[in-house]
Structure 1
Amino acid sequence: MEDLTSLERLGLRVSAMINSPLAQHARRVLVHRMDTDEDQDWRTIMDLLAESDGLDMSFCDDGSVLLQWDAPTDDDQVIEREVELDLVRHEEEAPF
Protein backbone atom coordinates (compact mmCIF):
# COMPACT_ATOMS: atom_id res chain seq x y z
CA MET A 1 0.00 0.00 0.00
CA GLU A 2 1.30 3.43 -0.93
CA ASP A 3 1.67 6.23 1.59
CA LEU A 4 -0.72 9.13 1.24
CA THR A 5 0.63 12.40 -0.11
CA SER A 6 0.56 15.47 2.10
CA LEU A 7 -2.31 16.84 -0.04
CA GLU A 8 -4.32 13.63 0.41
CA ARG A 9 -3.75 13.67 4.17
CA LEU A 10 -4.87 17.30 4.40
CA GLY A 11 -7.91 16.59 2.22
CA LEU A 12 -8.92 13.66 4.42
CA ARG A 13 -8.48 15.72 7.58
CA VAL A 14 -10.59 18.61 6.28
CA SER A 15 -13.21 16.20 4.93
CA ALA A 16 -13.45 14.43 8.30
CA MET A 17 -13.89 17.79 10.04
CA ILE A 18 -16.66 18.85 7.64
CA ASN A 19 -18.43 15.50 7.88
CA SER A 20 -18.27 15.22 11.66
CA PRO A 21 -21.72 14.96 13.29
CA LEU A 22 -21.19 18.17 15.27
CA ALA A 23 -20.19 20.16 12.17
CA GLN A 24 -23.09 18.72 10.19
CA HIS A 25 -25.53 19.63 12.92
CA ALA A 26 -24.18 23.19 13.29
CA ARG A 27 -23.51 23.51 9.54
CA ARG A 28 -20.16 25.08 10.32
CA VAL A 29 -16.62 24.05 11.17
CA LEU A 30 -13.38 25.84 11.98
CA VAL A 31 -10.48 24.34 10.03
CA HIS A 32 -7.08 25.00 11.57
CA ARG A 33 -3.94 24.95 9.52
CA MET A 34 -1.29 22.75 11.06
CA ASP A 35 2.41 23.57 10.97
CA THR A 36 2.96 20.44 8.88
CA ASP A 37 0.52 21.53 6.14
CA GLU A 38 2.40 22.54 3.00
CA ASP A 39 1.59 25.99 1.57
CA GLN A 40 0.66 24.57 -1.85
CA ASP A 41 -1.52 21.84 -0.32
CA TRP A 42 -3.38 24.38 1.84
CA ARG A 43 -3.97 26.66 -1.16
CA THR A 44 -5.19 23.72 -3.26
CA ILE A 45 -7.70 22.61 -0.62
CA MET A 46 -8.89 26.19 -0.04
CA ASP A 47 -9.33 26.67 -3.81
CA LEU A 48 -11.36 23.47 -4.04
CA LEU A 49 -13.56 24.56 -1.15
CA ALA A 50 -14.02 28.01 -2.69
CA GLU A 51 -15.50 26.35 -5.80
CA SER A 52 -18.20 24.64 -3.71
CA ASP A 53 -21.67 26.14 -4.11
CA GLY A 54 -23.35 27.25 -0.90
CA LEU A 55 -20.17 27.28 1.17
CA ASP A 56 -19.15 30.49 2.95
CA MET A 57 -15.46 30.80 3.85
CA SER A 58 -14.21 33.28 6.46
CA PHE A 59 -10.44 33.54 6.82
CA CYS A 60 -9.31 34.24 10.38
CA ASP A 61 -6.23 36.18 11.49
CA ASP A 62 -4.67 33.05 12.98
CA GLY A 63 -4.74 31.26 9.59
CA SER A 64 -7.77 29.11 10.30
CA VAL A 65 -10.84 29.13 8.07
CA LEU A 66 -14.45 29.11 9.22
CA LEU A 67 -16.62 27.14 6.81
CA GLN A 68 -20.39 27.60 6.97
CA TRP A 69 -23.15 26.22 4.78
CA ASP A 70 -26.92 26.37 4.56
CA ALA A 71 -29.27 23.53 5.34
CA PRO A 72 -30.47 21.62 2.29
CA THR A 73 -33.42 23.25 0.59
CA ASP A 74 -36.67 21.49 -0.22
CA ASP A 75 -35.46 21.20 -3.82
CA ASP A 76 -32.32 19.37 -2.66
CA GLN A 77 -34.41 16.95 -0.62
CA VAL A 78 -36.71 16.30 -3.60
CA ILE A 79 -33.71 15.37 -5.71
CA GLU A 80 -32.54 12.93 -3.04
CA ARG A 81 -36.01 11.36 -2.85
CA GLU A 82 -36.16 11.05 -6.65
CA VAL A 83 -32.83 9.26 -6.66
CA GLU A 84 -34.01 6.92 -3.89
CA LEU A 85 -37.25 6.20 -5.79
CA ASP A 86 -35.31 5.55 -8.97
CA LEU A 87 -33.09 3.07 -7.10
CA VAL A 88 -36.15 1.30 -5.70
CA ARG A 89 -37.68 1.05 -9.20
CA HIS A 90 -34.48 -0.54 -10.50
CA GLU A 91 -34.44 -3.00 -7.63
CA GLU A 92 -38.05 -3.99 -8.38
CA GLU A 93 -37.18 -4.59 -12.04
CA ALA A 94 -34.39 -7.04 -11.22
CA PRO A 95 -35.06 -10.40 -12.92
CA PHE A 96 -34.12 -12.47 -9.89
Structure 2
Amino acid sequence: MAKGKPATPKPPSQYELLGARLQKIINSPAAQKAKAALLYKAPDESEDDWAQILEEIAETDNVTLAHRDDGGVQVFWVVPKDD
Protein backbone atom coordinates (compact mmCIF):
# COMPACT_ATOMS: atom_id res chain seq x y z
CA MET A 1 0.00 0.00 0.00
CA ALA A 2 1.25 3.40 -0.87
CA LYS A 3 1.25 5.94 1.86
CA GLY A 4 -0.39 9.14 0.73
CA LYS A 5 0.07 12.51 2.20
CA PRO A 6 -2.39 12.93 5.08
CA ALA A 7 -5.34 15.03 4.07
CA THR A 8 -5.36 18.47 5.59
CA PRO A 9 -8.71 19.00 7.27
CA LYS A 10 -10.73 21.71 5.58
CA PRO A 11 -11.59 24.53 7.98
CA PRO A 12 -15.32 24.76 8.76
CA SER A 13 -17.40 27.19 6.73
CA GLN A 14 -19.03 30.22 8.33
CA TYR A 15 -22.37 28.38 8.06
CA GLU A 16 -20.93 25.35 9.89
CA LEU A 17 -19.53 27.60 12.62
CA LEU A 18 -22.94 29.26 13.01
CA GLY A 19 -24.60 25.85 13.22
CA ALA A 20 -22.13 24.67 15.86
CA ARG A 21 -22.69 27.84 17.92
CA LEU A 22 -26.48 27.50 17.84
CA GLN A 23 -26.28 23.77 18.55
CA LYS A 24 -24.23 24.51 21.67
CA ILE A 25 -26.89 26.96 22.89
CA ILE A 26 -29.79 24.59 22.13
CA ASN A 27 -28.01 21.63 23.75
CA SER A 28 -27.13 23.50 26.93
CA PRO A 29 -28.60 21.97 30.11
CA ALA A 30 -30.73 25.07 30.80
CA ALA A 31 -32.23 25.08 27.29
CA GLN A 32 -32.87 21.34 27.41
CA LYS A 33 -34.64 21.67 30.75
CA ALA A 34 -36.79 24.58 29.50
CA LYS A 35 -37.25 23.06 26.02
CA ALA A 36 -36.52 26.55 24.72
CA ALA A 37 -33.54 28.64 23.65
CA LEU A 38 -33.02 32.28 22.73
CA LEU A 39 -30.84 32.79 19.67
CA TYR A 40 -29.24 35.95 18.32
CA LYS A 41 -27.26 36.53 15.13
CA ALA A 42 -23.72 37.66 15.85
CA PRO A 43 -22.64 40.86 14.06
CA ASP A 44 -20.03 39.01 11.99
CA GLU A 45 -22.43 36.29 10.79
CA SER A 46 -23.98 36.33 7.33
CA GLU A 47 -27.65 37.34 6.99
CA ASP A 48 -28.05 34.61 4.36
CA ASP A 49 -26.57 31.93 6.64
CA TRP A 50 -28.75 33.14 9.52
CA ALA A 51 -31.92 33.03 7.39
CA GLN A 52 -31.03 29.60 6.01
CA ILE A 53 -30.36 28.03 9.39
CA LEU A 54 -33.56 29.48 10.90
CA GLU A 55 -35.51 28.09 7.96
CA GLU A 56 -33.98 24.67 8.53
CA ILE A 57 -34.71 24.80 12.27
CA ALA A 58 -38.32 25.84 11.55
CA GLU A 59 -38.78 22.80 9.28
CA THR A 60 -37.99 20.45 12.16
CA ASP A 61 -41.01 18.59 13.57
CA ASN A 62 -42.28 19.79 16.98
CA VAL A 63 -40.22 23.01 16.82
CA THR A 64 -41.64 26.55 16.89
CA LEU A 65 -39.78 29.80 16.23
CA ALA A 66 -40.89 33.16 17.61
CA HIS A 67 -39.16 36.26 16.21
CA ARG A 68 -38.67 38.93 18.85
CA ASP A 69 -38.69 42.71 18.45
CA ASP A 70 -35.05 42.88 19.61
CA GLY A 71 -33.89 40.68 16.71
CA GLY A 72 -33.63 37.49 18.72
CA VAL A 73 -35.38 34.26 17.88
CA GLN A 74 -36.96 32.13 20.60
CA VAL A 75 -36.93 28.43 19.74
CA PHE A 76 -39.39 26.14 21.51
CA TRP A 77 -39.71 22.39 21.11
CA VAL A 78 -41.87 19.56 22.32
CA VAL A 79 -40.54 16.09 22.90
CA PRO A 80 -43.24 13.67 21.69
CA LYS A 81 -44.24 10.93 24.09
CA ASP A 82 -43.51 7.39 23.06
CA ASP A 83 -46.61 5.32 22.37
User: Same fold by TM (over 0.5)?
Assistant: yes
Aligned to 2:81: 73
Aligned equivalents of 1:46 and 1:18: distance in 2?
Answer: 13
Listed as ranges, the gaps of 5+ residues in structure 2 are 1-8
TM-score (norm 1): 0.73
Counting only pairs closer than 5 Å after superposition, residues 1-96 of structure 1 correspond to structure 2 as 1-75=9-83
Q: In the alignment, is the contact (CA less than 8 A) between 2:62 and 2:79 conserved in 1?
A: no
Q: Which structure has the larger Rg over C-alpha atoms? A: 1
Q: Determine what percentage of the aligned residue pairs are the same residue.
A: 35
Moved over 2 A (4+): none
Q: Residue in 1 aligned with 2:4?
A: none
Aligned pair count?
Answer: 75
Q: Where do 5+ consecutive residues of structure 1 fail to align?
A: 76-96
Q: What amino acid sits opposite 1:36 in the alignment? A: D
CA RMSD, aligned part only?
1.1
* Structure 2 counterpart SS, 1:74: coil
What residue number does 1:92 align with? none
Which whole-Å CA distance do the structure 2 matches of 1:51 and 1:12 have between them?
Answer: 18
Write 1 or 2 for the structure with the bigger share of helix.
1
